[in-house]
């Protein structure tokens, strides 16, 4: 059981895995990253990146490690979602899985993963293949969490490049919430949080009018959070 085995109870026990729901945003819609399984069970099927938790690592560490091993993704927003433990969820036997919820911006992903992760592919949330195990249920819960959380935590910025325009930010919110938002009201509300740094630059990618660039003010958010400030959009 462990080096310090004073009170060992050797009950039969479930295996423990982690599974990561990684969301990305391409400017138009939210995508989820799936892996084509190379081994049985569900060989050839699409699944969430994940794997077994090792004895010496925390489950947070296991999630980060598996994500890196399977997709080359590292150093991104990653938090625990929910633990799935129905007895028959895995045909290999009793496997309990701690699901994680991750956000990445696709430019960051392309830089990091490159052609490294051939088995990984982004899928639209409106149109994705059948998933292995109970991963469809995990994905459903992750989408629900994302929709809920983006309204009261400034996590949307994790899905955008460091410098972004208000139009990009609004497109992101509209994609996540699956509803149109009023441009003027959205801008007023977002700017009134005081969490956007207005940069001395314009967005050079546009072929039309250049948009103002902003950056998320993480320090200010941390500071305000301590004082009980609540982000709400």
What residue ranges bind a copy of itself (CB under 8 A)? 1-9, 11-16, 39-41, 52-60, 80, 82-83, 85-87, 91-94, 96, 98
Work out whether 183 is an interface residue with DNA (CB under 7 A): yes
With CB under 5 to 8 Å by kind, the binding choice for 231 among DNA, a copy of itself, none is none
Closest listed residue to residue 140, CA positions, set 82, 181, 93: 82
C-alpha pair distances (Å), 85 with each of 17, 65, 134, 136, 168: 10, 21, 10, 14, 38
Q: Which of 193, 97, 191 is nearest to 139 (CA)?
A: 97
Note the Cα 47 to chain centre separation in Å: 15
If the CB atoms of residues 209 and 226 are measured against DNA, the closer one turns out to be 209
Task: Tell me how far apart the alpha carbons of residues 158 and 89 are, in angstroms, rounded to a whole number.
Answer: 31
CA distance 143 to 163: 25
Q: How far is the CB of 172 from a copy of itself (least distance, A)?
A: 22
Of the candidates 69, 178, 182, 219, which one interacts with DNA according to CB under 7 A? 182
Contact map string, positions 134 to 173, toward DNA, x by CB under 7 A = -------------------------------xxx------
Q: How far is the CB of 89 from a copy of itself (least distance, A)?
A: 9
State how far the Cα of 203 lies from the Cα of 163, in Å rounded to an integer: 9
Q: Does 224 bind DNA (CB under 7 A)?
A: no
**Cα dihedral 197, 202, 204, 208 sign:** positive
Task: Report strand pairing: 15-25 vs 95-105.
Answer: parallel
Choose the contact partner of 165 out of DNA, a copy of itself, none; CB within 5 to 8 A by kind: DNA
Least distance in Å: CB of 204 to DNA? 8
Q: Which stretch, 50-58, 61-69, 110-118, 204-212, contacts DNA (CB under 7 A)? A: 204-212
Residue 92 or 208: the one with the smaller Cβ distance to a copy of itself is 92
β-strands 120-124, 50-52 pairing: unpaired
Q: In terms of CB distance, is 45 or 94 closer to a copy of itself? A: 94
Contact residues toward DNA (CB under 7 A) are 165-167, 182-185, 187-189, 202, 206-212, 232
């Amino acid at each position: 059981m462990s080096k310090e085995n004073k009170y060992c109870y050797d009950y039969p026990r479930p295996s423990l895995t982690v599974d990561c729901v990684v969301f990305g945003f391409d400017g138009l819609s939210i995508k989820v990253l799936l892996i084509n399984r190379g081994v049985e069970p569900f060989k050839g099927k699409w699944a969430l990146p994940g794997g077994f938790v090792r004895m010496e690592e925390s489950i947070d560490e296991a999630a980060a490690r598996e994500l890196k091993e399977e997709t080359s993704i590292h150093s991104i927003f990653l938090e625990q979602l929910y633990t799935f433990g129905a007895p028959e969820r895995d045909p290999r036997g009793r496997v309990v899985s701690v699901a994680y919820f991750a956000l990445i911006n696709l430019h960051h992903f392309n830089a990091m993963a490159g052609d490294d992760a051939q088995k990984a592919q982004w899928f639209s949330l409106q149109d994705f293949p059948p998933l292995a195990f109970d991963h469809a249920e995990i994905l459903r819960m992750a989408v629900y969490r994302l929709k809920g959380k983006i309204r009261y935590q400034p996590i949307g910025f994790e899905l955008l490049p460091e410098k972004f325009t208000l139009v990009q930010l609004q497109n992101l919110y509209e994609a996540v919430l699956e509803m149109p938002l009023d441009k003027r009201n959205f801008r007023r509300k977002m700017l009134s949080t005081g969490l956007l740094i207005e940069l001395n630059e314009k967005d050079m990618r546009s072929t039309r009018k250049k948009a103002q660039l902003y950056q998320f003010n993480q320090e200010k958010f941390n500071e305000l959070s301590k004082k009980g400030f609540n982000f709400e959009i």
